[in-house]
Amino acid sequence: MGRGASFIGWTGALALLTMAVGSYIGLFVVGADVEMGEVQRLMYVHVPAAWTAFFAFFVVFIGSVLYLVQRDERADRVAASAAEVGVVFISLTLATGMLWGKPTWGVWWTWDPRLTTTALLLAVFVGYLAVRGFADDPERRARWSAIVGILGFVQVPIVYLSVVWWRSIHQPPSSPRSVSSDILGTWMLNFAAFLLVFAWLTARRTRAARLEAELEARMAYH
């Protein structure tokens, strides 16, 4: 087994273990919120998923910058893989937010600034993936998507600050002062689990992308 495959294997096992522990604590150990009741437990998925999506798009940003500066194909592959995984996590963020919103706000969806900007963030990175599918030339594909990845990351701080900049029914950003220590600890544990899942999925996808690039190069040579 190669070093890369070993890393992927260990990361996957650790991600599964951490996710299981975090889910158990969130469901059965930490008490239900006094005001929101059992529905608050969705936040142990919703919040870490959002943080992980933001981190994924930051990886896209860094990988895109590195590609434009160094023309390093590995940076492009990591950026593309992180974008795919980030789209999954931001979709999970929106889905769990809707499940939380129905019993809390009475509607599945409202054009609240936080929800709207998050939906736009999803659309931007779906567009990033679409751009990669439009260009057949690998260099042009990497260059175009890198530009979209850099510009698209601007949407991340807009999403985060949307509840500060505009009137919103969404709760403001949480801090250690605004939540109890057990809730914060469970958030952080599940965030660690989600980051491990992100690392595992991104590593697997990056490896697959490398194999795809090698196959594409061989086909072009012949």
Q: How confident is the model at residue 9 (pLDDT cuts 50, 70, 90)?
A: confident
* Domain residue ranges of the chain, discontinuous segments joined by +: 3-221
Asked if 113 contacts 168 with a C-beta cutoff of 8 angstroms, the reply is yes
pLDDT of 95: 97
Whether 1 shows a pLDDT value over 80: the answer reads no
**In sequence order, what are the residues at sequence separation of 6 or more whose Cβ sits closer than 8 angstroms to the Cβ of residue 75?**
62, 63, 64, 66, 67
In this prediction, residues 50-56 reach a mean pLDDT of: 97
Q: How confident is the model at residue 4 (pLDDT cuts 50, 70, 90)?
A: low
Its CATH class, for the domain covering 3-221, is mainly alpha
In this prediction, residues 89-118 reach a mean pLDDT of: 94
User: Does residue 106 come out as left (phi exceeding 0), alpha (psi in the -120 to 50 range) or beta?
Assistant: left
Selection from 169, 205, 199, 197 nearest residue 45 by Cα: 197
Q: Report the percent of the chain where pLDDT is more than 90.
A: 69
pLDDT of 193: 97
Query: What tokens were used for 145?
Result: 């998507």
Q: How confident is the model at residue 94 (pLDDT cuts 50, 70, 90)?
A: very high
pLDDT of 133: 87
Other CB atoms within 10 A of residue 221 CB: 6
Rg (CA), the chain: 19
Minimum mean pLDDT range among 47-56, 102-111, 138-147, 205-214: 205-214
Asked if 125 contacts 156 with a C-beta cutoff of 8 angstroms, the reply is no
CA distance 49 to 91: 9
CA distance 75 to 45: 29
pLDDT of 147: 97
Query: What tokens were used for 3?
Result: 């070093």
pTM: 0.92
Report the length, in residues, of the chain.
222
